[in-house]
Amino acid sequence: MDQDKLIAPKRHRRVTAQDVAEAAGVSRSAVSRAFTEGAYLDEEKRERVRDAALKLGYRPNALAAGLQGGRSHLVAIFVGDMRNAYDTEVVTRLVGALNAIQKWPILIDGGGLSSVKEAMGEVLRYPLDALILRSGSMDPAIARECTKLHIPVISSGRVLNHPQIDNVCCRNAQGSQAAAQLLLDRGRQNFGYIAGPLGYSSSSARQDGMMRALAAAGLAPVAIEAGDFTVESGFAAAERLFERARLDALLCANDAMAIGALGAARARGIDVPADLSIVGFDDISMARWPGINLTTVCNPIDIYADKVVELLSARLADPEKPSDVAYIDTHLVLRGTH
Amino acid sequence: MDQDKLIAPKRHRRVTAQDVAEAAGVSRSAVSRAFTEGAYLDEEKRERVRDAALKLGYRPNALAAGLQGGRSHLVAIFVGDMRNAYDTEVVTRLVGALNAIQKWPILIDGGGLSSVKEAMGEVLRYPLDALILRSGSMDPAIARECTKLHIPVISSGRVLNHPQIDNVCCRNAQGSQAAAQLLLDRGRQNFGYIAGPLGYSSSSARQDGMMRALAAAGLAPVAIEAGDFTVESGFAAAERLFERARLDALLCANDAMAIGALGAARARGIDVPADLSIVGFDDISMARWPGINLTTVCNPIDIYADKVVELLSARLADPEKPSDVAYIDTHLVLRGTH
DNA sequence: CACGCCTGTGCACACGTGTTCAGATACCCG
DNA sequence: CGGGTATCTGAACACGTGTGCACAGGCGTG
C-alpha cells in the first residue's frame, strides 16, 4: 500500500504526524493530542510521542493547522515608509511585541513598493489574524476592504473612523501645545514651524496644537515651511525659513526634520539654543545621540506597541466588540536645544 | 444537504472557490484554473469566473494552496538586533526586495526576545520557502536545524561554512584596509580602533584589515577599545581611548560607534578632522546627515539585499545546487571627518 | 470515414492537521 | 454482578486548494 511512496520518495517530504505515529506505535490522532493542551491522552503515551517527535524532528504543520482551525497566527504589518526613522522604531517594537505573544508579523513596506495595492491583495490571500496599519497616508479603501474580509484592522498613528477598526494614536495637539508653551515661557516670540506633507493628520494636528498655544499668548507663527519628514527635507525647509524670517523658536512636525533643521542652523552659525530653540516630536533614538541631544516631545514607542497588541488581543477575544481608540499621552523631554 | 450550513452559518466563513463556482455556474476546478496561469480554460468562462470572484471578494486561500502545492511563499527573516541601525536598514531593503518578488517576510527580532530559540521553533512550523539570517552572532545550531528541515538558509553578514547554506558578505578586511590607507596617506600615524563585541566576525575581519594596512607601513595601533555597536558605546569607548592615548586617527567597526566617537571628540573639544580623523563602516543613512557627515566605508545595502534575493531565487530554482558565497565590494565615501 | 491531435472539463485525490463521535476500557458504587 | 461514570482511543470528517487523470468533443489530415 505504500508502494508509491517507496518507489518515488518525494523530494524531501516533511515529517508528518503519521510518521511520528508509526514510530511511536500509536494512532495519528494520539500524536495530534500529544501536542494539544488539555486533550485526553495517557501521560506515558504522550511522552513516548514527544520522544519520537523530537527524534524525527517533527513539528505540526502550521499551514494545515491554520487551515483546519480558526487562527493562522499571521499578522500583516503595513508600514507606509520604512525609511522613516520613527516608523521603523515603531515597527521594531511591534515585531518584538508580536513575537512575544506568538503572532508572526508579515511586513509590507509601502515606501519601497510600486504596487502597494497589489501586494496587499496577495497578502490578503492568507487568512490573517489581523492587519496593523502603520502609516500616516494609508489608503482607507484598503482598510475597508479588510473589514469586509472580516479580519481585524488596527490603525496606528491615524484615527480611521470605522465601526470595526481599532485605533492607537498619540495626543498630537497636546504634545506640541506643551512644546510651544515651553518656549513661550522661555520668552520666545518669533515662531517658525516645519510641517510634514499635506494629508498627514499627525502633522496637521501638531501644527494645530502649536497654534493654540501661540493664540493663547496673542501670537501667531512668523513663518511655516513643509518637508517630507526626512532629515534632508528638514534641512532644506529650515534654510528657507532662515532666509525668510528671523526666528528664535522652531517647532518641527517630527524629530528627523528637527535634526535636519539643527544641522542647517549650525551651518549658518546660529547658536542653538542661545539664539534659537529647536524642538522636535517623537523622541526617536537618534534624538538622544551625543552631538544632537534634541529637546523633543516624547511619543512613547513602547507604550504604543503595547497598546496595539492589547487592542489586538481584545479584538481577537471578542470580534464583535465595538471599535476602540487608545490615546497615548506625550511628555516633554528637555535636552539641549530649547 | 447544506442544512447544517444554513442552520448554523459559520461566524464569518471565508468566500471559497465553491461559492464562486456556484455563482458563476461552473465547476470548482474551473475556478481554480481561472486563477492559474497557463491552465486550460475557455476565455469567456475565465472572465465569468473572475467577475463572480470580484463581486464576492474571493481570493484563493494561500494556506490551502501552500499546503497542497510546494511553496508557501513565506520567508522568515531572523535579525539579531533590530535596534541596530545598519541591521534595520538591511532589513528594510530586504523586505522591499522580497515584497517585489511576491515573497512575504516574517520577521523575528532576536534583540527584543528572551526566548529566541523557542520563537524560531514556532515559526519553523510554517513550511517556509527560506530563512534569511541577518545577524553577526546567530547560533549556528539553529541554522543547522533548518537545513535538516530542508529549508534553504541564507546567511547575511557572516559566512557560515555549511554545504547547504548560501552566504552574502561584504569584503570587510578590504574595506577597512582602504580606510586605514586613506588616513596613512593623509599622514596619520597614531591609530586607535573601536571594535565590536567579541564573536562578531565582521568586527574582527575589519580590525584585521586595518592591522594589515598599518603593518605594511611599519605601524601598529596605539590603542583599541570595544563597544557593542551602539552610539552610546562608541561614545564611551572613545572617551576611554582619549584618556589612554593621543590619537590622530580613529577607525570604528561600524558607523553608529563612529558617530558616538565623533560626539565624544567634539565634547572634548577635539577638532575633527583637523586634529583627529574618524572613519566609520557601513554608510548608514545617518552618516550623511548634516552635522554628522561621516567619512566611512560604504557597505552597499541595496546590492546586499539584491544579492540575497538573487541567491534565494537560484536556490529555489535548484535546491540541490552547491552553496554559494557572494562577496560584496566596499568603497570609501569621503565626507567631512577624515 | 478513420485516426490522431488539441482544447476544454469534471471527478477525485492529496496536502496535514484538529476535533467530533462513538466505542472501548477501567473503575467505583450500590 | 449490574450499571453508571470517567478516562482513553481510533476512525472519520472538514478545512480549501491545485492538479493528474480520464473523457468529451472539434478539427484537420490521410
CB-closest option in B11, B61, B109 to A92: B109
**Does the C-beta of B41 come within 7 A of strand C?**
yes
Q: Which residues of A touch B235 (CB under 8 A)?
A: 290
CB < 7 A to strand C: residues 43-82, chain B: 43, 45, 64, 67-68
Is residue B107 domain-shared with residue B184, that is, in the same domain?
no
> Same domain, yes or no, for A219 and A259?
yes
pLDDT at B11 (0 to 100): 56
Q: CB-based contact (8 Å) between B57 and chain A? A: yes
First to last CA, chain B: 80
C-alpha cell at B260: 558616538
Whole-number Å distance between alpha carbons of A76 and A54: 31
Residues of A in contact with B127 (CB under 8 A): 14, 61-63
Do A154 and A205 belong to one domain?
Answer: no
| pLDDT at residue number B138 | 62
pLDDT at A111: 80
- Residue A101 contacts B where some CB pair is shorter than 8 Å: no
Nearest-neighbour CA in chain B from A85: distance (Å): 10
Strand partners, B193: B224, B251
pLDDT, residue B10, reads: 43
Q: Are residues B93 and B103 in the same domain?
A: yes
Does A154 share its domain with A203? no
**DSSP code of residue A288:** G
Chain A residues within 8 A of B113 when measuring between CB atoms? 96, 99-100
| Protein-proximal nucleotides of chain C (any atom < 7 Å from a CB) | 7-12, 14-20
DSSP per position, A53-94 = HHHHT----HHHHHHHSS---EEEEEES-TTSHHHHHHHHHH
Which CATH number do you get for residue B15? 1.10.260.40
Instruction: Report how far residue A77's alpha carbon sits from residue A131's, in angstroms, rounded to the nearest whole number.
Output: 6
CA separation for the pair A171, A191 (Å, rounded): 21
Interchain proximity A231–B12, CB inside 8 Å? no
Domain membership of residue A333 (yes or no) is: no
Q: Is B264 part of a structural domain of the chain?
A: yes
Contacts with A83 from chain B: Cβ below 8 Å: 92, 285
What pLDDT was estimated at residue B137? 61
Question: Is residue B337 a part of any domain in this protein?
Answer: no
Mean pLDDT per 10-residue interval, chain B, length 338 residues: 37 82 85 82 80 88 88 92 89 93 93 79 93 76 81 88 89 96 96 93 94 96 94 96 96 97 95 96 93 95 93 89 92 97
Domain annotation covers residue B201: yes
What's the domain count of chain A?
Answer: 3
Same domain, A80 and A116: yes
- Looking at the structure, tell me whether residues A196 and A238 fall in a common domain: yes
- Shortest Cα distance, chain B CAs vs residue A268, angstroms: 12
Indicate yes or no: strand C within 7 A of the C-beta of B3.
no
Backbone angles phi, psi at A232, to 5 degrees: -60, -45
Consecutive sets of 10 residues in chain A, 338 residues long: mean pLDDT of each? 37 82 85 82 80 88 88 92 89 93 93 79 93 76 81 88 89 96 96 93 94 96 94 96 96 97 95 96 94 95 94 89 92 96
Does one domain contain both B136 and B177?
Answer: no
A56 HSE (CA, 13 A, CB side): 22
Q: Could you give the 3-state DSSP secondary structure of residue A281?
A: strand
| A79 and A160 belong to one structural domain | yes
Residue B180 sits in the same domain as residue B275: yes
Domain for residue A68, yes or no? no
* Structural domain contains residue A10: yes
SS3 for chain B is: CCHHHHHCCCCCCCCCHHHHHHHHCCCHHHHHHHCCCCCCCCHHHHHHHHHHHHHHCCCCCHHHHHHHCCCCCEEEEEECCCCCHHHHHHHHHHHHHHHHCCCEEEEEECCCCCCHHHHHHHHCCCCCCEEEEECCCCCHHHHHHHHHCCCCEEEECCCCCCCCEEEEEECHHHHHHHHHHHHHHCCCCCEEEEECCCCCHHHHHHHHHHHHHHHHCCCCCCEEEECCCCHHHHHHHHHHHHHHCCCCEEEECCHHHHHHHHHHHHHCCCCCCCCCEEEEEECCHHHHCCCCCCEEEECCHHHHHHHHHHHHHHHHHCCCCCCCEEEECCEEECCCCC
Question: In this predicted structure, what is the pLDDT of residue B8?
Answer: 38
Residues 253-312 of B with CB under 8 A from A: 259-260, 262-264, 266-267, 285-286, 289-292
CB count in 10 Å sphere of residue B50: 16
> Is position A110 within any domain?
yes
- In this structure, is residue A24 part of a structural domain? yes
Which of chain D's bases lie under 7 Å from a protein CB?
7-12, 14-20
Domain that holds residue A18: 3-60
Which of B126, B257, B270 to mutate to test binding with chain A, by most A CBs within 10 Å of its CB? Answer: B126
Helix (H, G, I), strand (E, B) or coil at A193: strand
CB contact under 8 A, B92 and A99: no
A307 and A216 co-located in one domain: no
* Whether the Cβ atoms of residue A286 and residue B291 lie closer than 8 Å to each other: no
Answer whether A109 sits within 8 Å of B95, measured CB to CB.
yes
**CATH classification at residue B239:** 3.40.50.2300
Cα–Cα dist B167/B154, whole Å: 6
Say how many residues make up chain B: 338
Rounded to 10 degrees, what is the CA torsion of A139, A301, A338, A291?
-100
Helix (H) or strand (E) run with residue A104 in it? strand A104-109
Claim to verify: residue A193 and residue A284 sit in the same structural domain: yes
The closest nt to B33, taking CA to C1', is D18
Please report the pLDDT score of residue A116 as a whole number.
Answer: 80
